[in-house]
Chain A
Amino acid sequence: DADVTQTPRNRITKTGKRIMLECSQTKGHDRMYWYRQDPGLGLRLIYYSFDVKDINKGEISDGYSVSRQAQAKFSLSLESAIPNQTALYFCATSRGHGYTFGSGTRLTVV
């Protein structure tokens, strides 16, 4: 099993729908992150969490929300999806210098 698992791997959804992307980890890391990757823009930080009780906005949090259900689980929600949220989404964990990424969720909003 992967250290950081993201579900689903691919998703197509309609404009206005609520969608949740899930992330679970077996690394035992306290810190978890959600990134978005768009062509030509690199990776941008959406939200990050240092422990279950700590949630912080990243550089592009508008239109997104997160939930840290447990140390190992960090989910990202799009309350009302819009086409410009079409992107590749990554969950990551860290401890010390090490960052571990999930395999990504490719989300398309039509």
Chain B
Amino acid sequence: AQKITQTQPGMFVQEKEAVTLDCTYDTSDPSYGLFWYKQPSSGEMIFLIYQGSYDQQNATEGRYSLNFQKARKSANLVISASQLGDSAMYFCAMRPFNAGNNRKLIWGLGTSLAVNP
């Protein structure tokens, strides 16, 4: 079964510290993409970072990096130097690239991150 698991319903981090949000995935497809999205309290869904299963290097986008461990099927999001504006829900998602998937994203249930001043 295709599945995304985010085991941390809620996380706290002190401002300016780094935090890791966990994501594990399950798929039998050899080729897939992994995504992280941020959803602030205002509700919009903001794309953060993407990792392809065949990418040799871990993805980075500014303060966001993705710790991709293919053998362990994990794709953890690392946020460095946390800011108060990082307080939000964070979702991990996967898109298997098989022909039958048709670009459908499979979503985790999210992790709520609170950044303390």
Contact = CB atoms under 8 A, between A and B. Distances in A.
A11 to B, nearest CB: 14
Interface residues of B, number: 22
Interface in A31-56: 31, 40-45, 48, 50, 56
B96 interface: no
Interface stretch (B16-24, B44-52, B76-84): B44-52
Contacts of A103: 42-44
Interface of A: 31, 40-45, 48, 50, 56, 58, 88, 90, 92, 94, 97-104, 106
B105 interface: yes
Interface of B: 33, 35, 37, 42-47, 50, 52, 91, 93, 95, 102-105, 107-110
- Most chain A C-beta atoms within 10 Å of own C-beta, residue among B47, B95, B103, B110: B103
A100 B15 CA distance: 29
A100 B91 contact: no
Contacts of B37: 101
B109 A40 contact: yes
A25 to B, nearest CB: 14
Given A42-B91, A50-B102, A97 B52 contact: yes
28 contacts: A31-B103, A40-B109, A42-B107, A42-B108, A42-B109, A43-B91, A43-B105, A43-B107, A45-B104, A45-B105, A48-B102, A48-B104, A50-B102, A88-B43, A94-B103, A97-B33, A97-B50, A97-B52, A97-B95, A98-B47, A98-B50, A99-B35, A101-B44, A101-B45, A101-B47, A103-B42, A104-B44, A104-B45
